[in-house]
Amino acid sequence: MAVETQAIKKPISFIAPVMGGFGAFAGVFIGAANGSVLLGIVLGFVVLAAITYVAMEVLDPKMETSVKWGLVALLAVAGFLLAGLPGAVMGAIFGYVFGILIYWIGMGRYRVPLPPYLTSGQVLWHYSFRTICGAIFVFLITPILVVMPLSFNAENFFTFTPEMLRFDPAGYSLKHYRDFFTSSEWQQALRNSLIIAPFATFLSVSFGTLAAIGLSSEHVPFRRAIMAILISPMIVPLIISAAGMYFFYSRIGLQGTLFGVVLAHAALGIPFVIITVTATLVGFDRSLTRAAANMGANPVTTFFRVQMPLILPGVISGGLFAFITSFDEVVVVLFVGSAKQQTLPWQMFTGLREQISPTILAVATILVAISIMLLTTVEILRRRSERMRGMSPG
């Protein structure tokens, strides 16, 4: 079978149906907003297929830039007529994306970055797989994207008000953020979380790192069974772990104490530390520790001066995961804590159950921002760890 090695213009019999499919996809949302999904699918397919025919067969290909911006303007106007200013914004976005897709597919540019030996079916799977992954990502991220603008609602509603949909500045406010920073209940919950999470993280990192180092040695008996037991809190349903901790704590007097909550959260964070540190130790050259011992260094000095700097990215990554786990956890603290240990997630849960307040949306947005910063740090450390392992001997 012949394969393509460069961008070649495709026949309109191929381009129009493909772009019509993209138009039908957009028509699902437009039709749903206007009461007829089927009509939206049909009109989306027909309209974009017709626009594709005009762009590729009637107009000069050199007019690509003009066609793109013309399509942006056209769909922005259509969106404004259907749904006002928000519709115009969405129409402009669709127009920009469709303008790129028409020429990307029509001129065969999608084949350029791929190996020339791929068949048409392999090319289809290559882009289909990425499309499916992108759709899953959008499905997972959409609830977060909805919550964030709602936290700026000027009214005490959990829905978008007409003023917000019109992008009227009067519909937006920071009142819910002010409520969070001025409320004694929310601030007490925040203080509890900022006390419990760091201590739980410290214990998780300490015990988890030592366990990972010990279990990485082949001379430890039953190390696979021990590893399975230590990471079991990550596998066992959280409600089971919480109930077990409750009955155990009630017998030893830790029920309802701050120390008990810290220990419970530490137990939940230890598996993350063990996994990340163990993964880092895979590329660790053990001849370095033997060399340090031959030079007269004791085990403690060898650990802090030789081993720890090399596994530090994994330790910090595990600590960040342990911190996020403790800071966001609500089920265990409900079982083993008391009103004095009411954390931020507990306060959010109580607010949803007893009095629905949009302040919860503001808190959720803050937690999302913190999680993004921590996960970004984890990714930076992961890349640093890979570079260090590539530079280390062996």
Domain 183-391 has CATH 3.30.1540.20: no
Q: What is the pLDDT of residue 73?
A: 92
Q: What is the mean pLDDT of each run of 10 residues along the chain (394 residues)?
A: 59 89 85 79 90 88 87 89 81 90 88 83 88 86 82 81 79 88 89 92 93 83 86 87 90 88 92 89 74 79 80 86 89 87 86 75 86 81 68 45
* pLDDT, position 300: 80
Question: CATH 1.10.3720.10 region(s) of the chain?
Answer: 183-391
Q: What's the CA angle centered on 374, arms 327 and 390, to 5 degrees? A: 130
Q: Please give the Cα distance from 101 to 95 (Å, whole number).
A: 10
> What predicted TM-score, i.e. pTM, was given to this entire model?
0.70
pLDDT value for 263? 93
- pLDDT at residue 385 in the model: 65
